């Protein structure tokens, strides 16, 4: 990608950090006395603070949503194709915020952070976080940035769940919500995949019950397996077949348990890379937040009742080949909104890439988001 | 199950073993100088040896296909609902053989067997086996039992792949083939799941490069994860939802990483059980045999050409909710047979249980197999 000579890139950005010393209580009953949130912003907040868009991240992403870092020009934000001047979420019109969730490992307070009370990393003592907790932490960031009401809250996958939760917990603070590749709760199979990933991490002898920091080791074997399992669920069977087929790395079968097929090489590489930079406790926390997300639970398992609080206008997008959160799951959300006579646009995009499609630059998908934000802008 | 007072059970059976001292060469270029095959038989071989049916096993099963052991009345064969007097594969008419594949861990020579040349377990030196190798070993067992031509070769999943291979490698020795829940080769996604399972085993510190026997340990953590991953792929999303839903074990969320959801408890239990009895090297070998199975590969990736050799009459059965080997994969086999103007009956059974459906007692599925074997019997 040639980043020079293009007008539609956010360009070089700087991550910021905000300290909060008002204690935050978690759904689990525990609390943090103080914490930091790492975040980035793109574009300019207008005078009445009405053009802010919060972009929530999914499992392994961060606050680095768009642009790149001056000293790391290849470290491009995970949704850079979506956000920038002239892009679907146009930073000439909107003030966009990315925030690393609590429990994360990219700058916000998380399990690897030193607990000021003990001087040691939180490790296993870090609170189990929920999507609701993240939203509460995000409201405080919004308060400090002077944002009373977001023009939109937006996310894909787990990020979309946060957008949904915003519309339920703080309907008065969300004018619009963009909910991409989501589900109103995990299925048993979704939980099962998360559980195997967690078991891979917690049974790694280097995990030490979550307090591996003090032992100077990292449960890389477990993290690597967790990432490999996750990766299979992000791609469609067809996309994998298209990308790798049964291609043999050396051209012939070698009758061993080392890499023979390209897909094996790819998975090992993805796993190795991930284990180098991701925190094992963060992986546990984030998959658990996914498992526990279930807004209908407090409304007698009735999603329509749960969504009754929401007043935002919605764009809901799913992808035909997504078998992790299939279109059927998005239609459950759409139905609950329609039951409540809410304003909702729904699109099922015919894309071959599986769950990962939400991160890719599909023209039809991007045109939908662009059109939605043009209307949001027109109503500002 | 009350086993007394029912006429249609095979009853108490005894596993047998046969020693072979003629060396067997493997596709990998290695060989075994001698080996044993564990097997069982049910029913009686007729005078001209024409009523024999070979039942091939899938990943974690064995030669113990039907009946139970006198000293282990709860150890019931894995396809006991299919095989017995009056059952779909009727042992009043057929002589049924189950055989544990080479490389297995239930009595046939495998990685845990002492290598007579070294006095130590084969471990990592055991040959990488292929479906073709298994079929060759099975032909020798057939020779010794006096069976020139099988009335049928039958199997589900990996067992069905062996039945397919029989019809290609030894068409003159197979009158009929029953191919249930199969695929003509694994997809990239199928290989990916196998690879993660193998990586879980081989990166377990207790694996010791496959020679863990000498260290007095077993890579249980890896085996456990492998089984958990496998189990998810055997069940449909719907079947998991039906069986477990999002049911909480204690009735409420406990905000921890121990078991909260029933599906977690189930997977851990399945993993723990499996790690107690299954051999880690066998798991590697069998998943690799699955990966490598690809009869079209030697025919320019043309399955029709590959199946041209087959002369058997086929029954091919798939299950609508099987996402491991979907009906589409069975239809590839059916198409290749029809291209060759072979006799094939194909049924797509509407069953909710996923890949595991092939082991379950579905009335429509069993009626199909029964009808097929009645015709096989009529033609004897």
B203·A188 Cβ contact <8 A: no
Distance CA A293, CA A173 (A): 21
Is B4 a residue whose pLDDT tops 70? no
Of the candidates B222, B235, B203, B195, which has an alpha carbon nearest to the alpha carbon of residue B279?
Answer: B222
Q: What value does the mean pLDDT take over residues B53-60?
A: 95
Is A2 a residue whose pLDDT tops 80? no
pLDDT of residue B5: 40
pLDDT cut 70: percent of chain A above it: 98
pLDDT of residue B7: 62
B27·A255 Cβ contact <8 A: yes
Gap from A14 CA to chain B (nearest CA, Å) = 35
* Neighboring chain B residues of A230 at a CB cutoff of 8 Å: none
Q: Is B227 left (phi over 0), alpha (psi -120 to 50) or beta?
A: alpha
Q: How many CB atoms lie within 10 A of CB B47?
A: 7
B240·A189 Cβ contact <8 A: yes
pLDDT of residue B231: 95
Q: What value does the mean pLDDT take over residues A247-262?
A: 94
pLDDT of residue A176: 98
Report helix, strand or coil for A270.
Answer: helix
Distance CA A165, CA A221 (A): 34
Contact indicator for B95, B53 with CB cutoff of 8 Å: yes
Q: What value does the mean pLDDT take over residues B121-147?
A: 98
Q: What value does the mean pLDDT take over residues B13-37?
A: 97
* Neighboring chain B residues of A128 at a CB cutoff of 8 Å: 255-257
A225·B196 Cβ contact <8 A: yes
pLDDT of residue A306: 98
pLDDT of residue A158: 98
Q: What value does the mean pLDDT take over residues B249-265?
A: 94
Q: What value does the mean pLDDT take over residues A149-171?
A: 98
* Neighboring chain B residues of A205 at a CB cutoff of 8 Å: 205
Active site residue B28: no
Residues of A with active-site annotation: 157, 322, 355
**Catalytic option among B108, B157, B236, B326:** B157
A188·B225 Cβ contact <8 A: no
* Neighboring chain A residues of B29 at a CB cutoff of 8 Å: 255
pLDDT of residue B237: 92
* Neighboring chain B residues of A245 at a CB cutoff of 8 Å: 188
pLDDT of residue A7: 62
Q: What is the pLDDT of residues A333-367, one digit of tens each?
A: 999 999 999 999 999 999 999 999 999 999 999 99
**Catalytic option among B133, B260, B279, B322:** B322
Instruction: Give the one of A204, A235, A292 whose C-beta lies nearest to B253's C-beta.
Output: A292
Of the candidates B146, B174, B180, which has an alpha carbon nearest to the alpha carbon of residue B48?
Answer: B146
Angle between helices B188-202 and A220-234 (to 10 degrees): 170
Q: Using alpha carbons, list the distances in angstroms from residue A364 to A51, A230, A370, A377, B320.
A: 25, 26, 10, 20, 31
The DSSP annotation for A117-140 comes to TTSSB-GGGSPPP-HHHHHHHHHH
Gap from A307 CA to chain B (nearest CA, Å) = 20
Instruction: Give the one of B189, B200, B246 whose C-beta lies nearest to A185's C-beta.
Output: B246
**Catalytic option among B63, B64, B170, B355:** B355
Q: What value does the mean pLDDT take over residues A228-244?
A: 94
What ipTM did this prediction achieve?
0.95
CB–CB contacts below 8 A, A to B: 146
Q: What is the pLDDT of residues A181-230, one digit of tens each?
A: 999 999 999 999 999 999 999 999 999 999 999 999 999 999 999 999 99
A246·B186 Cβ contact <8 A: yes
Q: What is the pLDDT of residues A93-127, one digit of tens each?
A: 999 999 999 999 999 999 999 999 999 999 999 99
Chain centroid to CA A105: how far?
13
Distance CA A178, CA B110 (A): 56
The band of B77, judged by pLDDT with boundaries at 50, 70 and 90, is very high
The band of A60, judged by pLDDT with boundaries at 50, 70 and 90, is confident
Closest B-chain CA to A324: B237
B192·A264 Cβ contact <8 A: yes
Q: What is the pLDDT of residues B340-375, one digit of tens each?
A: 999 999 999 999 999 999 999 999 999 999 999 999
Instruction: Give the one of B186, B188, B199 whose C-beta lies nearest to A225's C-beta.
Output: B199
Q: What is the pLDDT of residues B136-164, one digit of tens each?
A: 999 999 999 999 999 999 999 999 999 99
Distance CA B228, CA B108 (A): 25
* Neighboring chain A residues of B184 at a CB cutoff of 8 Å: none
CB burial of residue B258 (10 Å; 0-12, 13-18, 19+)? exposed
Is B1 a residue whose pLDDT tops 50? no
A245·B291 Cβ contact <8 A: no
Q: What value does the mean pLDDT take over residues A238-243?
A: 93
* Neighboring chain B residues of A217 at a CB cutoff of 8 Å: none
The band of B8, judged by pLDDT with boundaries at 50, 70 and 90, is confident
């Amino acid at each position: 990608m040639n980043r020079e000579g293009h007008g539609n890139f956010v360009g070089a950005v700087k991550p910021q950090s905000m300290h909060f010393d008002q204690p935050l209580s978690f759904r689990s009953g525990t609390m943090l006395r103080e914490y930091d949130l790492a975040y980035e912003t793109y574009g300019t907040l207008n005078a009445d603070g009405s053009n802010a868009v919060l972009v929530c991240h999914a499992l392994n992403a961060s606050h680095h949503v768009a642009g790149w870092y001056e000293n790391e020009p290849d470290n491009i934000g995970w949704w850079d194709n979506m956000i920038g001047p002239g892009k679907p979420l146009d930073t000439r019109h909107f003030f966009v915020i990315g925030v690393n969730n609590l429990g994360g490992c990219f700058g916000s307070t998380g399990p690897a952070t030193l607990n000021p009370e003990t001087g040691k990393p939180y490790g296993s003592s870090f609170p189990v976080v929920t999507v609701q907790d993240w939203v509460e932490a995000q409201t405080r960031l919004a308060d400090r940035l002077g944002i009373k009401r977001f023009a939109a809250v937006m996310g894909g996958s787990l990020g979309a769940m946060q957008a949904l939760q915003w519309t339920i917990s703080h309907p008065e603070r969300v004018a619009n919500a963009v909910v991409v590749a989501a589900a109103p709760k995990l299925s048993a199979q979704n939980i099962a995949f998360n559980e195997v990933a967690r078991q891979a991490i917690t049974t790694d002898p280097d995990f030490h019950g979550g307090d591996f920091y003090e032992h100077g080791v990292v449960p890389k074997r477990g993290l690597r397996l967790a990432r490999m399992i996750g990766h299979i669920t992000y791609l469609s069977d067809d996309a994998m077949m298209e990308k790798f087929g049964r291609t043999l790395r050396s051209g012939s079968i070698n009758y061993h348990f080392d890499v023979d097929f390209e897909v094996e090489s790819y998975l090992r590489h993805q796993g190795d890379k991930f284990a180098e930079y991701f925190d094992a406790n963060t992986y546990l926390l984030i998959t658990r937040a996914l498992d526990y997300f279930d807004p209908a639970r407090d409304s007698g398992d009735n999603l329509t009742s749960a969504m009754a609080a929401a007043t935002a206008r919605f764009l809901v997008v799913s992808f035909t080949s997504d078998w992790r959160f299939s279109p059927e799951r998005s239609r459950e959300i759409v139905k609950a909104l329609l039951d409540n006579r809410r304003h909702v646009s729904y699109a099922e995009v015919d894309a071959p890439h599986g769950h990962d499609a939400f991160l890719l630059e599909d023209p039809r998908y991007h045109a939908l988001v662009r059109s939605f934000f043009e209307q949001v802008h027109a109503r500002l």
